[in-house]
Amino acid sequence: MAIDSDSDMDDAGLRSKKSKGKAAEKKRDKGKAKETAETLAYTWEASYTRSWDTVQEDESGSLQGAVEDWVVRARRKRLLAPSAAIRRTIIRHLVLLLDLSSAMVDRDMRPTRFDLMLQYAREFIVEWFDQNPLGQIGVVGMRAGVGERICEMTGNPQDVLKSISERHRLEPQGEPSLQNAIEMARSSMSHLPTHSSREIVLIFGSLTTCDPGDIHDTLDTCVRQKIRVSVVALAAEMKICREFCDRTGGQFGVALNEGHFRDILFELVPPPAQRGGGGSGTVGGAGGAPSADLMMMGFPTRLPDTAPPSLCACHGELRSAGFLCPRCMSKVCDVPTDCDVCGMMIVSSPHLARSYHHLFPVRPYAAMGTADRGARVACYACARAFPTAPAGNTSEGMSPVGRYRCPECKCDFCSECDVFIHDVVHACPGCGR
Binding-site ranges for Zn ion (CB under 5 A):
312, 314-315, 325, 327-328, 333, 339, 341-342, 379, 381-382, 406, 408-409, 414, 417, 428, 430-431
* Minimum distance, C-beta of residue 381 to Zn ion, in the bound complex (Å): 5
Please tell me the distance from the alpha carbon of residue 63 to that of residue 294, in angstroms, as a whole number: 51
* Minimum distance, C-beta of residue 221 to Zn ion, in the bound complex (Å): 32
Residue ranges of E strands in 238-295: 252-254
Could you give the angle at the alpha carbon of 346 between the alpha carbons of 343 and 348, nearest 5°? 180
334: closest CA among 326, 318, 323, 320? 323
* Minimum distance, C-beta of residue 100 to Zn ion, in the bound complex (Å): 29
179: closest CA among 187, 171, 189? 187
Nearer to Zn ion, 108 or 334 (CB): 334
* Minimum distance, C-beta of residue 85 to Zn ion, in the bound complex (Å): 16
Please tell me the distance from the alpha carbon of residue 66 to that of residue 68, in angstroms, as a whole number: 5
Nearer to Zn ion, 303 or 328 (CB): 328
- Residue 312 to residues 153, 309, 430, Cα–Cα distance (Å): 19, 9, 45
Burial class for 7, CB neighbours closer than 10 Å (0-12, 13-18, 19+): middle
Q: Enumerate the β-bridge partners of residue 404.
A: 367, 413
Cβ neighbours, 10 Å, residue 147 = 21
* Minimum distance, C-beta of residue 322 to Zn ion, in the bound complex (Å): 7
- SS3 state at 335: coil
Residue 146 near residue 154 (C-beta atoms within 8 A)? no
Nearer to Zn ion, 279 or 304 (CB): 304
* Minimum distance, C-beta of residue 266 to Zn ion, in the bound complex (Å): 25
* Minimum distance, C-beta of residue 365 to Zn ion, in the bound complex (Å): 8
Nearer to Zn ion, 264 or 371 (CB): 371
